[in-house]
Chains A and B, each alone.
Chain A
Amino acid sequence: MYAVPLAETRLAPCDALNRELEALFLAREDDEHRNPTPSHIPQQELYESRFNLFHWPETCVRELRQFMLDGIARTVLAATTLQPQDLARYTLHNHTWFHITRYAGSFISHNHPMASWSAVYCVRAGEPVPDRPDSGVLRLFDPRQGANAFRDPANASLRPAFALRSLDLRLAEGQMVVFPSYLYHEVTPFYGRDLRITVATNCWFF
């Protein structure tokens, strides 16, 4: 009960698409394409684009758009009592952007008001850091904050489905996760020496 839905899917093959996306994003990592109204204090080590990515006409972006929005629609159908014909009556709106993260870049814990579903797709995972397994992970916070304030042996070892803890996801290239927009999440400091690139979207239906 009180369960939080989390969907995971993978695009395969994804190498060629991801390399195209990476090249495109790096070429447009400039002030023109930067989010002009960031919701949080901008970090020099993390570039955030405008939220109009899925309006870009490039083929690689359109291919990614198809994969991500289709995955979100499937998640909605799996997590709700809506039938496909019900969902088809609504327009799927989205804000979609990309992040390029360099050494010691991170993104503060946050959620996304005015949206129902959020998703993150991994274009480039960035190099793993052997002694920092939490480098650059997408951390989903347990929404039951404070529920772990009293701990004794009978609740300290709850099975995974019931555990009171955050969920750390080290995304692989081509992987997408979908979760409710109310869920607080963060990207922990990335300590790889290369790049971590992701695409994120918030969706709502009217």
Chain B
Amino acid sequence: MTPFQPQVVPIFATPLGLVNLPGVAELNPAVAALFAARATAERADPGSRPPLMYRSRDDLLQWTDDPVRELTAGVIGAALSVVRALNDFTDEEFSALQLQARAWFTIVRPDGNVPFDSYPNAAWCAVYCLAAPELSPERYDSGLLRLHESFRATMFSDATNALIRAPYNTGHSTWRPTPGQLAIFPAPLTHEVALLRGTGELMLISALLRFIAPGQTGLPWW
């Protein structure tokens, strides 16, 4: 009997893009200092959970400070590189898309977290890590970005599907925020930042992106 040669392909796959931003070693501390100074109640988003988690208003892309403009340009550029890689646009087609984006910064302090969220009317959510505490070996999940599992196919479990390998494995996916690195994923995906343990602060920039095709109308407010 001829051995079977099965073909297995991923279906319902969800993209998670990771990009390391070059040349940010000096930029990150400068922007972090600005954020720390401006993390005020007046600039806070209603979603803030003081004092353990601060979230700014989503007007970061309108800030005029050079370090912020330079870094957010890098964040958006990195996000665009992932979006581009996931599609088959020609240069001409991609450059014809009108980008709409908004961004904010988040500071998570010890025992704080970012509750679960997802974003309607946006295509992509990018999260860039500006600063992160030292990793605590005892608190492996401290400050992780957790992307929630949503497939109820996990409800029946046996030996052959409980330990299935990637990319077919079930359970939440995580990304450890690492200074200088950006993660990007579909904006409707429910996600959170797990409780931060130990000392130090986690500082993130989040951006929502969507694209308007030439002639496209009828997009709702966001």
Segment of A51-59, A63-71, A149-157, A193-201 in the binding face: A149-157
Which residues between 62 and 92 of chain B lie within 8 Å of chain A, taking CB atoms? none
Contact of A184 (CB < 8 Å), options: B148, B188, B192 = B148
Q: Once bound together, how far apart are the Cα atoms of A191 and B53, in whole Å?
A: 13
Q: With A132-B49, A134-B115, A143-B152 in contact, do A149 and B172 touch (Cβ < 8 Å)?
A: no
Contact of B121 (CB < 8 Å), options: A111, A114, A139, A151 = A151
B156 on the interface (CB 8 Å rule)?
yes
Q: Once bound together, how far apart are the Cα atoms of A189 and B192, in whole Å?
A: 13
Q: Are the CB atoms of B118 and A148 closer together than 8 Å? A: yes
Which residues between 105 and 147 of chain A lie within 8 Å of chain B, taking CB atoms? 106, 108-109, 111, 113-114, 132, 134, 139, 141, 143, 145-146
Contact of A113 (CB < 8 Å), options: B157, B172, B194, B195 = B157
Q: With A106-B195, A109-B116 in contact, do A150 and B148 touch (Cβ < 8 Å)?
A: no
Which residues between 169 and 195 of chain B lie within 8 Å of chain A, taking CB atoms? 172, 187-190, 192, 194-195
**Chain B interfacial residues counted at CB < 8 A:** 28
Q: Are the CB atoms of B190 and A141 closer together than 8 Å? A: yes
Residues of A within 8 A of B141 (CB): 41, 108
In the assembled complex, the CB of A152 is this many whole angstroms from the nearest CB of chain B, namely 4
Q: With A134-B115, A146-B150, A182-B152 in contact, do A114 and B157 touch (Cβ < 8 Å)?
A: yes
Interface SS of chain A? loop
Contact of A111 (CB < 8 Å), options: B49, B140, B154, B194 = B154
Residues of A within 8 A of B150 (CB): 145-146, 184
B220 on the interface (CB 8 Å rule)?
yes
B146 on the interface (CB 8 Å rule)?
yes
Residues of A within 8 A of B120 (CB): 148-151
Q: Are the CB atoms of B157 and A149 closer together than 8 Å? A: no
Q: Once bound together, how far apart are the Cα atoms of A12 and B168, in whole Å?
A: 47
In the assembled complex, the CB of A39 is this many whole angstroms from the nearest CB of chain B, namely 10
**Chain A: which residue is nearest B171 at the CB level?**
A110
**Binary CB contact string for chain B from 104 to 119 against chain A (1 if under 8 A, 0 otherwise):** 0000000101011010
Residues of B within 8 A of A113 (CB): 154-157
Q: Once bound together, how far apart are the Cα atoms of A161 and B148, in whole Å?
A: 24
Q: With A111-B154, A181-B155 in contact, do A152 and B195 touch (Cβ < 8 Å)?
A: no
Q: With A41-B140, A152-B220 in contact, do A189 and B195 touch (Cβ < 8 Å)?
A: yes
Q: Once bound together, how far apart are the Cα atoms of A47 and B164, in whole Å?
A: 29
In the assembled complex, the CB of A135 is this many whole angstroms from the nearest CB of chain B, namely 10
In the assembled complex, the CB of B185 is this many whole angstroms from the nearest CB of chain A, namely 12
Q: Once bound together, how far apart are the Cα atoms of A186 and B187, in whole Å?
A: 21
Residues of A within 8 A of B194 (CB): 108
Residues of A within 8 A of B220 (CB): 150-153
Q: Are the CB atoms of B155 and A108 closer together than 8 Å? A: no
26 A-B pairs with C-beta separation under 8 A: A41-B141, A103-B111, A106-B113, A109-B116, A109-B148, A109-B172, A111-B155, A113-B154, A114-B155, A114-B156, A114-B157, A132-B49, A145-B148, A145-B150, A145-B188, A146-B189, A148-B118, A148-B188, A149-B188, A150-B220, A151-B121, A153-B220, A182-B155, A188-B115, A189-B111, A191-B111
